[in-house]
Structure 1
Amino acid sequence: MSTLETFNLNFNSIECQIPEVIGSLINLRELRLRGNKIIGSIPLSLSNASRLETLDISYSSLQGNIPEGIGNVHNMKLLGIQYNQLMGSIPFTIFNISRIEVIAFTGNSLSGYLPNGLCNGLPILKGLYLPDNKLHCHMPTSLSNCSQLQILSLSENEFDGPIHNEIGRLSNLQLLYVGVNYFTGMIRNLVELEKLDLSINSFSGSLDMEVFNISGLRVVSLLNNNVSGSLTPNIGSILPDIEELYLGSLTNLVGTIPHSISNCSKLTSLELSINKLTGLIPNSLGYLTHLQHLNLGGNNLTSDSSLSFLTTLTNCRNLTFLSLYWNPLNGMLPASTGNLSTSLRTFLADSCKILGRIPNEDGNLSSLLFLYLSGNNLVGSIPTSIGNLRMLQRFNLTSNKVTGFIGDHICKLQHLGEIHLGQNQFSGSLPNCIGNNTSLREKHLGSNKLSSNIPPSLGNLHDLVVLDLSSNNMVGSLPPEIGNLKVATKMDLSMNQFSNEIPREIGELQNLAHLSLRHNKLPGSIPDSISNMVGLEFLDLSHNNISGNIPKSLEKLQNLKYFNVSINKLKGKRAPQQADSLSAITRERISYYELIQATDALSESNLIGSGNFGSFYKGALRSGTAIAVKVFNLQLEAAFKSFDTECEVLCSLRHRNLVKVITSCSNLDFKALVLEYMPNGSLEKYLYSHNYFLDIKQRLSIMIDVACALEYLHHGCSLPVIHCDVKPSNVLLDGDMVAHLSNFGISKLLGEDQGDLYTKTLAILGYIESEYGQDGLVSTKCDVYSYGIMLLETFTRRKPNDFEGDVSLKQWVNHSFSRDNNGRSRCQLDNTNE
């Protein structure tokens, strides 16, 4: 073996460690172990293989650090250890291997920085691949010394600072990928550049298309940067050879799409989504006969009433992705959409103010995987030709005015994974063949006029995760076959006319987290089998005809956060209230003197926050109980009403996700509420303070807690309570990070026959829908909207008033869903979620 020069075991699925003896192969020149299941660490002995020229151990499971000794292998030409689990910093000794041509460490967890003198000892380096790591600090200033460099890839790291002008001296550079970092500045003078990716950085200033006036430039991506400007009218002459142009999600890209873009005749991908483009979509796009990907979504583009640009796009016979969402097109889909490329896989036209019917000709799009037409003004029925879309995986018609039956042609869609037909006017029965769509994972048919039984064949949908049939007129029994939906996590059958007892088979749904059967006509008792639904977190059986006792076995539901059986005919003794450290003082008012003692005379050191009508102090009662005290500012006339409102509302509320009021202190000159102390402060603090952190599971748990609180306020009280001020500063976190909704100072009680009411006191703008903000009209929908905004804020860490002009957080998030060629969406989540 000592004479071995080439050792190639690429792609053999070998599971092993690299033995230390490998370093004794003194004649070894090539070691190729790519695409195996190599574990352990890189042996230190490899530094003894002094003649080694090629080392490729990519696509394995290596861990640990890169040994310093690798830099002693002075004959190395190719060093590739991509897509492993390496950690630590890159040994600087590697950058002294003067013969090396390719360094590739893509897809690890390498950290640290690159030395400024990185290129001083790499005269013939041609490829430097370091994307998808955790490298930080600035780009090395010596890069211009790598005069032979052709490919530089630093994407998906944490680099910051400017891209130095020195990089313009890399006359051989063909590919420059620096996307998903924090770079600033701009690139110039790269005359040989073919591909340039600057996406998702901190570049700012005006969009100067002349920067990209490079004769051979084929790919440009400037996605998600703080760049303003417009598309130059002569774009076709500036970028004659461009094949892929990505200018989506820029801060202020305005103006129109120039007709001269048709001169970019080699274009295969054009990405202009989530900008502020206006004017007509040019018919000249139809001259881009090589076009495969066209995304114009999230702008303010229009068209004529016949949407003629769609007809011209029928010339693009290679088109696979077409996105038009969130543009006010105000027209009817022409029959010619059925003549679009037979390769078309994705057609996104949600929220485009499209009128009329779905053309029957759309059934010709035989390769279509994703069809999104939600949020339009479509009428008529679903054409039977939809059944010809045998490859269709997602079909979304939510929020239109589509009528008629859900016909048997839907059952022909054997690959359908999601169907969204909610908020339309469908009527009649569900087809008996509904069980034929065995690939279905989500079925949303809520808020229609369906009036049938649930067909037993529904039980054939063994992969169904979400079932929503709420707010229809469905009747009959819940079929026992419902117990076959064993992977389901959410089932909403509320607001129907279901009768007969809840089948015991429902207890077989052990993965179900959310079950709502409220507002039906279900008689009988709660089946004991529900206690087997160990994943249940939300259970609403309210507003039925259920009788008997609540089964004691439901105590086994350890994950249950919300349980509502109100407005039924249940009987039994009320369980005694559980005593806790607060119960002894809930019946007594506290004196002003005691309160002053508890808060150290309302000292500034005990001040923990302030609100619209007063300040909050922490304190401790003589019993040792920690409290929070809300002291109302009586110089404000509204504070008197706020105090009375909170007392009125909170005196009757009991829920684990509401802040408990212990007692109050009130006289002519002083009014205060004594509240349960929340040691972890507010959600706002955790979102916007650098010293605090919430992972994605914590954020999700907090939002579930708030949802449970709102569900209780809206549906679990004798009269619905509208909070009117749902926002992160009013969500407090206890010692276990359980969320509690607080601050009911402007809340409203909704009368029995009221669907909404008027108020002069509203939540902060951004958290309330414009129609409410303008008219002072509030309902439970007001809280739901505010909750939705706060949900987006919690996961993006962007405040609703962070945006300029008419852009809202809701629009920004909608626009930030960039769908790839497979129809998948990627929202811009706060990167501290990871």
Structure 2
Amino acid sequence: MLEDKANSWCSTVIPFLILITAATAVSTSSLDRDKEVLLNLKSFLEKQNRVNRGRYSEWNQRSSNPCDWHGIFCSPDGARVNGIDLSESKISGEIFKNFSALTALQHLDLSRNTLSSVIPDDLNRCHNLLYLNLSHNILGGELKLTGLTSLGKLDLSTNRFLGEVKLSFPAICNRLVVANLSRNNFVGRIDKYFDGCWNLQYLDLSSNKFTGNVWTGFARLVEFSVSENYVTGPVPSSTFSKNCTLRGLDLSENKFHGEFPGEISNCKNLVILNLWGNNFTGPIPSELGSISTLEGLLLGDNRFSRMIPESLLNLKKLAFLDLSKNNFGGQVQEIFGRFRQLKSLVLQGNSYTNGLHSSGIHKLKNISRLDLSYNKFSGPLPAKISQMLNLKFLILAYNQFTGAIPPEYGELSQLQALDLSFNRLTGSIPPALGNLKSLLWLMLANNSLTGEIPRELGYCSSLLWLNLANNQLSGRFPPELTNMGRNATPTFESNQQSDQMIVGPSECLVAKRLLTTDYSPFGFVYTILTRKICRSIWDRLLKGCGFFQVCVRGSPVRENLVSGYLQLSGNQLSGEVPSDIGKMQHLSVLHLGYNEFNGALPTEIGQLPLLVLNISRNKFSGQIPMEIENMKCLQNLDLSHNNFSGTFPTNFNNLNELSKFNISFNPLIAGRIPGIGQLATFEKESYLGNPRLHSPLFKLEDPTLPPSNLRDENGPKSEKRVFPAKQTEDRFWWKALLMEYGCGMVFGMVILYVSFRKVQPKWFFTKVEAMHQWKIDQSLKRNCSRGGGRIIC
């Protein structure tokens, strides 16, 4: 009996154990195959990236189980590899061509690398893939992903894909919820290829080259953006049906025209509406006032009517209002003073005149950002702005304000940016501005300010960006100024805890002005500046995160740091630069050109991690500090038009990143310019006006013949010129020939003069008048360029 039960048990359990053993063997075998594929992937990546490698190099070193490797994810039972995250892993070259061998792969993230070439056909065979992120690479070619029918999220943003989207859509729309194709080179129409994407909720097509009419089905999404394209036509009113589910709609910077339909009010959950940069006309839809959820309304750079609907005052959550560049003229509309709920008001680029008092804008207590730049406001700056105690950004640049800067602005304790540049301001800089402990930017350039730079600006512990260029400031460089920006951490920490501001196209203009396009390290940003990049830059800067790499002191090593600038060019500043300049470790740009600074340039300047140093057109003297060699990342060095003396600093040949160099018109500098190395890459213009310099590559002025007005540190000096007899004789014949030629020219001119006085040909006087006008224009341009600033004449 027991034997029968034992046999019965065996007959039941043993097959079950066999099945478990077989399943385990299959599972182990599958994981082993996955491991083999991953090791091939590791070898592939290491072969393409021999120097800078990510943590994939650690695979199989500490554990043989791929589920323990960095960036690898396995199924809950640990049987299969189902996810790979190699984002920001310093990967370059082509994409691995055998991901399809990982048959359980559902998640693949290769974003933020420098992958190039095209997407291989192999990736199309990853049929179980639910998530694919290839964003922020340099991938190109046409997009053909028809095999990825299980995808729920696709992010291809910031690449170089081209062609039309019809090669992938609607083929991959079965389960697609999120699709981000922004910042590529896609072309063609978009008005029908997403009709079958019934699960789609988020679609971003911004920053491409799409044309034709807009896809009218976008109102069933949650968020839709087609900004920065070439989409045209009117927006049909039928687009916004009763079941509109939109929370975010961005049609900005396209070619839309006509009146914007009031049926937008059917989108009861709309939070952001961005129509900036189109050709919309007619009235601003009063129906917008019924969308109680609306927080951001961007209507700038259109041709809307000047009348602001009273209904907009009903929008109790409206925090951001942008009506810039709509050709509004006259006085500011009184209604703006009643938007008490606003936190950001942008009216820049209109033609508003007179002052601000009648608008009541100064009564908006909640405003944190006020941009009234590029208008025609005149009269004194309103002191009552100091009552807007929540102000963080006050942008009044490019107007016609006159008079002094109100010292009351020093009471704006939360102010982070004050831009009063390009006005007609006079008087001195108020010392009260030194009370602004949160101030990051102070822009007072291109006014007529006088007096000395107040030492109190050194008390602005967060001040990283200071531009006082092209004024009439005098006096010395106050030593206290070297303390500016010594500790911006409290301001950055405050911004980290606050809500992120809405950033529109107008803020990109502010970013360009505050980050100055003239010099590195900011110049590169503006060749690729889209609104998304603006938002990223602003967010990182305001929170204290660097968005580009800055050199560490005395080393070519770089770190992502926030880096500032100091621009004092185009003034009448004098005296010596204080030796405390070496404390300004947060600077990457220092521009002291077009002043009257004198004395020796302090050697401590070599302690700064600068990318740009410009001290041209001053009266600096003595030896050029050899310590400048320590600025290993220096890209632009201008020492021209000074009184430097001594030996030419050949050690500057070690500045391997130097791309602009000018030491011209320092006639007391002597020595030999290296024939090889970095200094040999610059043209003759970098060395003109230095008769004591020699070059093996080109001929400069005769080094034995210094100019008669040459000065050195001991005062005027003259030298007797001695020529050999043969040279003197040759010069005599040359003189005789030149005298004969000169007499002939004079005689010819007399004959011409008499002839023209009698005949007066019209064509001649027309040409003379044109040449005269050309000279005047050239003179104006030269005057406008004085000081290296951006002057509009």
Give the TM-score taking structure 2 as reference length. 0.63
Q: Write the mapping of 1:631-646 to structure 2, written as runs, cut at 5 A.
A: none
Q: Write the mapping of 1:296-375 to structure 2, written as runs, cut at 5 A.
A: 296-302=347-353, 304=355, 306=357, 309-314=360-365, 316=366, 319-342=367-390, 344-375=391-422
Q: Write the mapping of 1:643-722 to structure 2, written as runs, cut at 5 A.
A: none
Q: CA deviation at 1:408?
A: 1.9
Matched with 2:622 is 501
Which residue, 263, 266, 278 being the options, matches 1:214? 266
Contact 1:120–1:142 (8 Å) recurs in 2: no
Q: CA deviation at 1:373?
A: 0.5
Q: CA deviation at 1:276?
A: 1.6
User: Secondary structure of 2:211's partner?
Assistant: strand
User: Secondary structure of 1:149's partner?
Assistant: coil
* Structure 1 position 565 matched with structure 2 position 612: no
Per-residue CA shift, 1:376-401, capped at 9, x if unaligned? 23333322331222232221111223
Matched with 2:523 is none
Q: Write the mapping of 1:47-446 to structure 2, written as runs, cut at 5 A.
A: 47=100, 54-56=107-109, 58-59=111-112, 65-72=118-125, 74=127, 76-94=129-147, 97=149, 99-115=150-166, 118-119=169-170, 122-139=173-190, 141-164=192-215, 167-168=216-217, 172-188=220-236, 189-190=239-240, 191-201=244-254, 203-210=255-262, 212-216=264-268, 217-225=270-278, 227-232=279-284, 234=286, 236-237=288-289, 239-250=291-302, 252-253=303-304, 255=306, 257-302=308-353, 304=355, 306=357, 309-314=360-365, 316=366, 319-342=367-390, 344-437=391-484, 441-446=564-569
Letter in 2 for 1:781: L
Contact 1:481–1:505 (8 Å) recurs in 2: no
Contact 1:102–1:128 (8 Å) recurs in 2: yes
1:173–1:59 distance in 2 versus 1, CA, 3 Å = same
Which residue, 51, 56, 70 being the options, matches 1:15? 56
* Structure 1 position 529 matched with structure 2 position 529: no
Per-residue CA shift, 1:514-573, capped at 9, x if unaligned? 43453x6x48x453326736648453654x8x55x8433466632433234286428789
User: Secondary structure of 1:107's partner?
Assistant: coil
Q: Distance in 2 between matches of 1:58 and 1:782?
A: 47
Per-residue CA shift, 1:66-113, capped at 9, x if unaligned? 454555555554444444554443334236x2x544333333433332
Q: Distance in 2 between matches of 1:432 and 1:459?
A: 11
Per-residue CA shift, 1:449-484, capped at 9, x if unaligned? 434332222243355444444454545444444454
Matched with 2:779 is 780
Deviating more after overlay: 320-329 vs 556-565: 556-565
Letter in 2 for 1:326: Y
1:484–1:759 distance in 2 versus 1, CA, 3 Å = farther
1:386–1:786 distance in 2 versus 1, CA, 3 Å = closer
Letter in 1 for 2:781: C
Which sections of structure 2, spanning at least 5 residues, go unmatched?
1-23, 39-52, 67-71, 487-562, 691-706, 712-718, 724-736, 738-759
User: Secondary structure of 1:551's partner?
Assistant: strand
Q: CA deviation at 1:353?
A: 1.8
Contact 2:106–2:128 (8 Å) recurs in 1: yes
Q: Distance in 2 between matches of 1:480 and 1:115?
A: 63
Contact 1:489–1:514 (8 Å) recurs in 2: yes
Letter in 2 for 1:374: S
Q: Distance in 1 between matches of 2:565 and 2:115?
A: 39
Q: CA deviation at 1:286?
A: 4.6
Q: Distance in 2 between matches of 1:121 and 1:560?
A: 55
1:187–1:228 distance in 2 versus 1, CA, 3 Å = closer
Q: Distance in 1 between matches of 2:722 and 2:322?
A: 64
Contact 1:256–1:277 (8 Å) recurs in 2: no
Q: CA deviation at 1:298?
A: 1.4
Q: CA deviation at 1:41?
A: 6.1
Q: Distance in 2 between matches of 1:66 and 1:254?
A: 48
Q: Distance in 1 between matches of 2:432 and 2:73?
A: 66
Per-residue CA shift, 1:249-270, capped at 9, x if unaligned? 34x4563545543333322222
Q: Distance in 2 between matches of 1:146 and 1:418?
A: 48
User: Secondary structure of 1:205's partner?
Assistant: strand
Q: Distance in 1 between matches of 2:673 and 2:595?
A: 32
Contact 1:120–1:146 (8 Å) recurs in 2: no
1:224–1:428 distance in 2 versus 1, CA, 3 Å = same
Which sections of structure 1, spanning at least 5 residues, go unmatched?
575-586, 588-635, 643-744, 747-757, 764-775, 793-808, 812-834
Matched with 1:831 is none
Q: Distance in 1 between matches of 2:295 and 2:597?
A: 53
1:94–1:268 distance in 2 versus 1, CA, 3 Å = farther
- Count of aligned pairs between the two proteins: 588
* Structure 1 position 448 matched with structure 2 position 571: yes
Q: CA deviation at 1:283?
A: 4.5
User: Secondary structure of 2:780's partner?
Assistant: helix
Q: CA deviation at 1:339?
A: 3.2
Per-residue CA shift, 1:559-616, capped at 9, x if unaligned? 4332342864287899xxxxxxxxxxxx9xxxxxxxxxxxxxxxxxxxxxxxxxxxxx
Q: Distance in 2 between matches of 1:512 and 1:148?
A: 51
Contact 2:146–2:172 (8 Å) recurs in 1: no
Contact 2:140–2:159 (8 Å) recurs in 1: yes
Higher helix share: 2
Q: CA deviation at 1:173?
A: 1.8
Q: CA deviation at 1:431?
A: 1.5
Q: Distance in 2 between matches of 1:373 and 1:24?
A: 57
Per-residue CA shift, 1:773-798, capped at 9, x if unaligned? xxx94552335669999x99xxxxxx
Contact 1:131–1:157 (8 Å) recurs in 2: yes
Contact 2:222–2:245 (8 Å) recurs in 1: yes
User: Secondary structure of 2:224's partner?
Assistant: strand
User: Secondary structure of 2:649's partner?
Assistant: helix
Letter in 2 for 1:492: I
Per-residue CA shift, 1:218-243, capped at 9, x if unaligned? 22223333x14254273653655422
1:68–1:760 distance in 2 versus 1, CA, 3 Å = closer
Q: CA deviation at 1:506?
A: 7.2
Matched with 2:744 is none
Q: CA deviation at 1:410?
A: 1.0
1:237–1:551 distance in 2 versus 1, CA, 3 Å = same
Q: Distance in 2 between matches of 1:517 and 1:129?
A: 50
Per-residue CA shift, 1:431-452, capped at 9, x if unaligned? 1223323668432223434343
1:244–1:28 distance in 2 versus 1, CA, 3 Å = farther
Give the TM-score taking structure 1 as reference length. 0.60
Of structures 1 and 2, the larger Rg is shown by 2
Q: Distance in 2 between matches of 1:3 and 1:215?
A: 51
Contact 1:321–1:346 (8 Å) recurs in 2: yes
